[in-house]
Chains A and B, each alone.
Chain A
Amino acid sequence: MPERISILIILIPFIGALLFPLLKHNIAKYLSLIVSMLILFLAIFIFSNILNNNPFEYNLGGWKRDVGVAFWFNKFNLIFCIVLSSIYLLTQIFFIPHYHIIYGKKLTKFLSLQALFFMSCFGLILTADIFNLYVFLEISALSSYALIALGKGRAYVASLRYLILGSVGASLYLLGVGFLFAKFGTLNIFELQSIVQNQVLGRSTFVSLVLIILGLLLKMGQFPFYIWLPEAYEHSPTSVSTFMAPISTKVSAFLLFKVLLGVFSISQIKNLLPESTFFVHLATVSIFYFGAISIRQNCLKKMLLCVLLAEISYLTGSFWILSKSSLSAFSFHIISDSLMIFAGFVCIAAIEYLNKSSQFKDLKGIGRKMPFTTMCFILALLSLIGLPPMCGFFSKFYIILGAFKEQHFLFGASLLFSSLMLVIATYKLIPILFFEDYKKIASSRDVPLRMKFVLACSILSLFFVGIFSGSLMKLIS
């Protein structure tokens, strides 16, 4: 495979984003579908090439890595890219006939922003340059502010809040990068790694590390920096939150992994930040907190957002345990959590499509009218609870295993607690969904076949990742 094909994974959505505003609505709509399909094929193609060969580096424009921009293609990056592009494709299939109704004249803008968002996510995952990473971070942030502001009502406020906090996070990150550059004179992750390896790290590295961590935690929406997150995803249009909620936090979590462990070794981080277990405790507290409030929600979307916030803390906690097994659990959870949260949101989108609301009081007896959709939602919840053989069980298993191995028993217990709370929340739902009579929807049809296909794909992917978790773990670690 000529390596220069691989850069298309970023270029295709970029070109698409530039083209869409110039085209007619209908053409743009289907072009964006084609774009998402192309990316998926491309990601799978590159992945299948790497599977047997070594991971490779691509230098943009042929410039050397210390001057130019480098991209790094390895197995985990590409698995993540495949997950992302399939989420892109599935949301397109799910929403495409309704884009007109939702966005009206803003349709092409939306498509363009969406393509930009995905482009920047791919960039963030693949880039091997910490400054270039900042650029992509800003692109993704800007496009998501605009996407969120497409919603109605409080969406503007939510977007503004996100803008302020997101910019703070990005600037902190940039400041940290500046420190690193001043100290070591390079921005490439591999160069940095080779320089840092043999050095005793001083105060300035510590400061840059703290700045980068703070910036990324803000972006992730880790407790206590989460204020922007629930509002942003609640008020943004459903078609936006469906793909954005599962992806953007997970990408930021992945950046934490990439920047810190790409540059420093585990022991160096432990030396620089002797109190790194603080973050584990923080995650523990936040998991208990969000677990407890998740049962008090009265709206599906809010409930799922609580779960999402708790899941982010799973990631933070398992990252900061900083052991080999918990880090591979971290990587596995990134994949499985993106899929689970996506499945949850796509089910809510399907419910809202017929029902216009996801408040519990409007959902009475909906399981009888839309059995397929509600069953999918229950399955997604069961996966989030952690029932085998779906992927939620395995990621929870690995995380707890990693925690127990390093004697973080409380963190492990917090995961179990959040599962228990989710059991209660799910049980609260079941009588509402299935036992009561439903009168609101006149037609007795479930959602259209196209949506059913997307739902089935998203649920089957949970089973797939769960059942093949063994081989996936081998690839990741």
Chain B
Amino acid sequence: MFCVYYILIPLIVFLLTFVMLKVKYSGAFFNIVGSLSLIFLLFSSQFKLSTISIIEFLPNASLAFATSNFSFIFATLVAFLWFVTVIYSMGYLRTLDDKKENKFFMFFAISIFSALGVAFSSNLFTMYLFYELLTISTFPLVSHYQDSQAVSSGRKYVLFILGSSICLLLPALILLYSFTGTLEFDQAQLVANNVPRQMFLIIVLMFLFGFAKSALMPFHFWLPGAMVAPTPVSALLHAVAVVKVGVFCLYKVFYHTLGFENFYHLPYFKNVLIIISSVTVILSSIIAINQDGLKKRLAYSTISQLGYIILGIVLFSQTALLGASLHIVSHAFSKITLFFCAGAIYVVTHKKYISELKGLGYKMPITFSCFLIGSLGIIGFPFTGGFISKWQLLKGSLEAGQPLVFCIFLLGSFIAALYLLPVIFTAYQKNPNFEEASISEAPIYCLIPIIITASMSIMIFFCNDFLIEVLRVK
């Protein structure tokens, strides 16, 4: 029963903001109150498991919610980062003098609502419903500035995400439903008995590419395009909520619906899946090296790290799966730190390109040291959260008997160092032009969230045993 309340909070925030759209600062206020109460509620529930079914749409496919350990962790992550991002957006939007602040916060709340809906959905049908809602509700945020660039990246966004979910995800759902007669999770036995083998392969591929929010190549083009959005949107939605919802759905579908045991006798097909996601990991990392736009580079880095998570899922080993779910958490903190830093730089200097950052490191030491922490987290350096998750992923790849994947993981981290550390090197080059300019750190509203997320990404390293305990699948 409780799980409905978690989901309802952002919805209420959305409605209140909608009603008081004209009142100044109402959006920020309601979002802060909502996120705080959500965090409070999640912690006070002590991760108690519960289920609720609201209305039955089709036989064996109803609007139903359930909690699990993983969904709790995911929801807590989203709720916590929601709070941090709201604080950050207040600083960001007000410094840039944005007129549409309340509208921004309104759509922000509804996006969080749909992300939580996905997290707590107890069957594929509910998951699909909220997945689509998330697409619709983030679209206004992507096209926030309403210029020609926003139009073209909005087009990519709608076409790739909505198109893939209509053309791949929906038929996959219907096929699954027509064979098994149910859309509940944990029906692996039913799938094994009723779905013909070739159909099974088709359905798996449809699911893999259908969740285009997970940005598997070649369905990744929307993500770099979506970077025209205001930085808080890129930070929370396109580094955490939206893309992680994509991989979260893949996790659920592969582990709970299709069932790992149905893949054990398909060695070649498993290799195909691994190759598809490995290509994404390596190729997007290589593309990232050549990107000069800071946010674009981070976007390609996100694609590559999402590839890690997908690889962790398609290795079909328990340890790799644990690594994948840990990576969802640790990558979230590191990547949001990086995006916050990029936004802070933009707010102060209006610079978007890495080549323009020369000498900034001396002016904004806090920002860039946090950037360093975030980068190390992505790379997987010890004493950051990224190390924990990558450790589990590496262990999982060996357990699954895929030494090649082991190498790919390492190679990906190496390339990550190649594209992230030069940003800091550039920032600390001497630049005589900057000496006189009056540039200082970003406003305090922007700075505090950066420090919080950066320290969280280190914290994960030290309290990893709790996370591993909770996320380990039985």
Verify if B407 is at the interface (C-beta below 8 Å from A): no
Q: How far is the CA of A423 from the CA of B165 in the complex (A)?
A: 11
Verify if A438 is at the interface (C-beta below 8 Å from B): no
Selected from B63, B129, B158, B171, the residue in CB contact (under 8 A) with A423 is: B158
Verify if A104 is at the interface (C-beta below 8 Å from B): no
Flag if B146 contacts A416 (CB, 8 Å). no
Q: Which chain B residue shows the least CB distance to A427? A: B158
Selected from A388, A397, A420, A430, the residue in CB contact (under 8 A) with B163 is: A420
Flag if A427 contacts B58 (CB, 8 Å). no
Flag if B162 contacts A423 (CB, 8 Å). yes
With A386-B166, A387-B136 known as contacts, the answer to whether A434 contacts B129 (CB < 8 A) is no
Flag if A470 contacts B55 (CB, 8 Å). yes
Interface SS of chain A = helix
Q: How far is the CA of A394 from the CA of B62 in the complex (A)?
A: 12
Q: Which chain B residue shows the least CB distance to A423? A: B162
Q: How far is the CA of A419 from the CA of B163 in the complex (A)?
A: 9
With A387-B136, A397-B174, A427-B159 known as contacts, the answer to whether A420 contacts B151 (CB < 8 A) is no
Per-position binary interface string of chain B over residues 332-375, scored 1 when its CB falls under 8 Å from any chain A CB and 0 otherwise: 00000000000000000000000000000000000000000000
Q: Which chain A residue shows the least CB distance to B150? A: A435
Q: How far is the CA of A443 from the CA of B151 in the complex (A)?
A: 28
B-chain residues with CB within 8 Å of residue A397 when the two chains form the complex: 58, 170, 174
- Which residues in window 423-469 of A have CB below 8 A to B? 423-424, 427, 430-431, 434-435, 467-469
24 A-B pairs (CB sep. < 8 Å): A385-B166, A388-B128, A388-B129, A389-B57, A389-B129, A400-B170, A400-B171, A401-B174, A401-B177, A401-B178, A404-B178, A412-B174, A416-B166, A416-B170, A419-B166, A423-B163, A424-B159, A427-B155, A431-B146, A434-B146, A435-B150, A467-B55, A470-B55, A470-B57
Q: Which chain B residue shows the least CB distance to A466? A: B57
**Interface residue ranges, A against B (CB under 8 Å):** 382, 385-389, 394, 397, 400-401, 404-405, 412-413, 416-417, 419-420, 423-424, 427, 430-431, 434-435, 467-470, 473
Q: How far is the CA of A419 from the CA of B174 in the complex (A)?
A: 15
B-chain residues with CB within 8 Å of residue A401 when the two chains form the complex: 174, 177-178
Q: How far is the CA of A425 from the CA of B155 in the complex (A)?
A: 11
A-chain residues with CB within 8 Å of residue B150 when the two chains form the complex: 435
Q: Which chain A residue shows the least CB distance to B147? A: A435
Flag if B166 contacts A423 (CB, 8 Å). yes
Interface size, chain B (Cβ < 8 Å): 30
Flag if A435 contacts B151 (CB, 8 Å). yes
Q: Which chain A residue shows the least CB distance to B162? A: A423
With A401-B174, A416-B171 known as contacts, the answer to whether A427 contacts B166 (CB < 8 A) is no
Flag if A431 contacts B151 (CB, 8 Å). yes
Which 5 pairs show the lowest CB-CB distances between chains A and B? A435-B146, A388-B129, A431-B151, A470-B56, A404-B178
Q: How far is the CA of A434 from the CA of B155 in the complex (A)?
A: 14
Given pairs A386-B166, A401-B178, 6 additional interface contacts (CB within 8 A):
A385-B166, A401-B177, A404-B174, A419-B166, A431-B154, A473-B58
A-chain residues with CB within 8 Å of residue B178 when the two chains form the complex: 401, 404-405
Verify if B184 is at the interface (C-beta below 8 Å from A): no
**Interface residue ranges, B against A (CB under 8 Å):** 55-59, 62-63, 128-129, 132, 136, 143, 146-147, 150-151, 154-155, 158-159, 162-163, 166-167, 170-171, 174-175, 177-178
Q: How far is the CA of A419 from the CA of B175 in the complex (A)?
A: 18
A-chain residues with CB within 8 Å of residue B146 when the two chains form the complex: 431, 434-435
Q: How far is the CA of A419 from the CA of B164 in the complex (A)?
A: 11
Q: Which chain A residue shows the least CB distance to B157? A: A427
Q: Which chain B residue shows the least CB distance to A434? A: B146
B-chain residues with CB within 8 Å of residue A416 when the two chains form the complex: 166-167, 170-171
Flag if A423 contacts B159 (CB, 8 Å). yes
Q: How far is the CA of A467 from the CA of B147 in the complex (A)?
A: 36
Selected from B55, B57, B136, B167, the residue in CB contact (under 8 A) with A382 is: B136
A-chain residues with CB within 8 Å of residue B175 when the two chains form the complex: 404
B-chain residues with CB within 8 Å of residue A405 when the two chains form the complex: 178
With A385-B166, A416-B167, A427-B159 known as contacts, the answer to whether A394 contacts B174 (CB < 8 A) is no
B-chain residues with CB within 8 Å of residue A419 when the two chains form the complex: 166-167
B-chain residues with CB within 8 Å of residue A420 when the two chains form the complex: 163, 166-167
Q: How far is the CA of A401 from the CA of B182 in the complex (A)?
A: 12
Flag if B132 contacts A387 (CB, 8 Å). yes
A-chain residues with CB within 8 Å of residue B147 when the two chains form the complex: 435
Flag if A400 contacts B174 (CB, 8 Å). yes
Q: How far is the CA of A420 from the CA of B146 in the complex (A)?
A: 23
B-chain residues with CB within 8 Å of residue A473 when the two chains form the complex: 58
Flag if A412 contacts B171 (CB, 8 Å). yes
Closest Cβ of chain A: how far from B132's Cβ, in Å?
5
Q: How far is the CA of A473 from the CA of B55 in the complex (A)?
A: 14
Closest Cβ of chain A: how far from B229's Cβ, in Å?
15
A-chain residues with CB within 8 Å of residue B170 when the two chains form the complex: 386, 397, 400, 416
Flag if B158 contacts A394 (CB, 8 Å). no
Q: Which chain B residue shows the least CB distance to A435? A: B146
Q: Which chain A residue shows the least CB distance to B57? A: A470
Q: Which chain A residue shows the least CB distance to B173? A: A397
Q: Which chain B residue shows the least CB distance to A397? A: B174
With A404-B178, A470-B57 known as contacts, the answer to whether A388 contacts B132 (CB < 8 A) is yes
Closest Cβ of chain B: how far from A105's Cβ, in Å?
46
Closest Cβ of chain A: how far from B140's Cβ, in Å?
9
B-chain residues with CB within 8 Å of residue A388 when the two chains form the complex: 128-129, 132
B-chain residues with CB within 8 Å of residue A435 when the two chains form the complex: 143, 146-147, 150-151
Q: Which chain A residue shows the least CB distance to B155? A: A427
A-chain residues with CB within 8 Å of residue B136 when the two chains form the complex: 382, 387
Q: Which chain B residue shows the least CB distance to A402? A: B178
Q: How far is the CA of A434 from the CA of B140 in the complex (A)?
A: 10
Q: Which chain A residue shows the least CB distance to B139? A: A430
Closest Cβ of chain A: how far from B164's Cβ, in Å?
10
Selected from B57, B158, B167, the residue in CB contact (under 8 A) with A469 is: B57
Flag if A394 contacts B57 (CB, 8 Å). yes
A-chain residues with CB within 8 Å of residue B151 when the two chains form the complex: 431, 435
Q: How far is the CA of A62 from the CA of B158 in the complex (A)?
A: 60
B-chain residues with CB within 8 Å of residue A470 when the two chains form the complex: 55-59, 62
Q: How far is the CA of A13 from the CA of B327 in the complex (A)?
A: 67
Q: How far is the CA of A424 from the CA of B162 in the complex (A)?
A: 10
Closest Cβ of chain B: how far from A55's Cβ, in Å?
24
Q: How far is the CA of A323 from the CA of B78 in the complex (A)?
A: 45
